[in-house]
Amino acid sequence: MLSVHELHVSYGGIKALRGVSMEVNQGEIVTIIGANGAGKSTMLNAITGFLKPAKGEVIFNGHKLGRNPAAIVKLGICHVPEGRLVFANLSVQDNLMLGAYLRKDRKKMAEDLEKVFVLFPRLKERIKQQAGTLSGGEQQMLAMGRALMTDGELVLMDEPSLGLAPLLVKTVFQIIKEIRDLGKTILLVEQNAQKALEVADRAYVLEQGRVVKEGAACDIQSDPAIRAAYLGSKSVAGGA
């Protein structure tokens, strides 16, 4: 579905990605784990056209992706950005409907809205409320619901558990599985490697802009080097 070939991205002299290749197949949950600054978010921003790769290409369902985020959304990739970025000045309803900005299929839109409310009943309760007044967890749910309203087949998620209380972290990962069950494919960037590997089918480990390890999530999870580097203290901090 998505293939990334030898992607290089630099920010003013600093090489954030140095030749990263990866594949995401239909129906999978693929996770990218790595330390801060390893290039995880850069990867997602390069896929959705916010960053210009110095070299390499991204192919989605046979289309080479360019640098126009709006066109990429139209092709069927939605992105739940780091820090959620909900439209704080607009209502929950407006936020969700903006997700469907490019769509014309009103009937399917109404069905999708119902699915979002089944997934996130809290959003339905707060439909008229301004998004800025929601709690962090609710905002994360809104950001996910809004992305689902674009009806993209591939959902990119950037640190969905960041800054959430442990109980909510658990909920968020549960929801990620439920979103996959809706027929979506998920590329998940997470610092909480333990949780990410529990839900994912496959994983890539990024270090300083390179893929240092890839494979089935369960193999990565049991890899001694990975355990020492990413799962040691993290499993205590995030495993509640």
* Contacting positions for another protein (CB under 8 A): 48, 50, 68-70, 73-74, 78-79, 81, 85-90, 94, 97-99, 101-102, 146-147, 150
Among 228, 209, 226, which Cα is nearest to 218's?
A: 226
Q: Which two tokens stand for residue 195?
A: 């949780």
Residue (59 or 97) nearer to another protein, CB:
97
Nearer to another protein among residue 73 and residue 172 (C-beta): 73
Contact 160, 187 (CB under 8 A): no
The distance of closest approach from Cβ of residue 230 to another protein in the complex, given in angstroms and rounded to an integer, is 28
Residue 131 is classified by DSSP as G
Quote the least distance from Cβ 71 to another protein, whole Å. Answer: 8
Tell me how far apart the alpha carbons of residues 47 and 69 are, in angstroms, rounded to a whole number: 9
By C-beta, is 68 or 174 nearer to another protein? 68
- CA 99 to chain CA centroid, Å, is 15
Residue (50 or 117) nearer to another protein, CB? 50
Contact present, 191 and 172 (Cβ < 8 Å) = no
CB of 78 to another protein, least distance (A): 7
Dig out the tokens for 12 from the structure: 């003013």
Minimum distance from residue 53 beta carbon to another protein (Å): 17
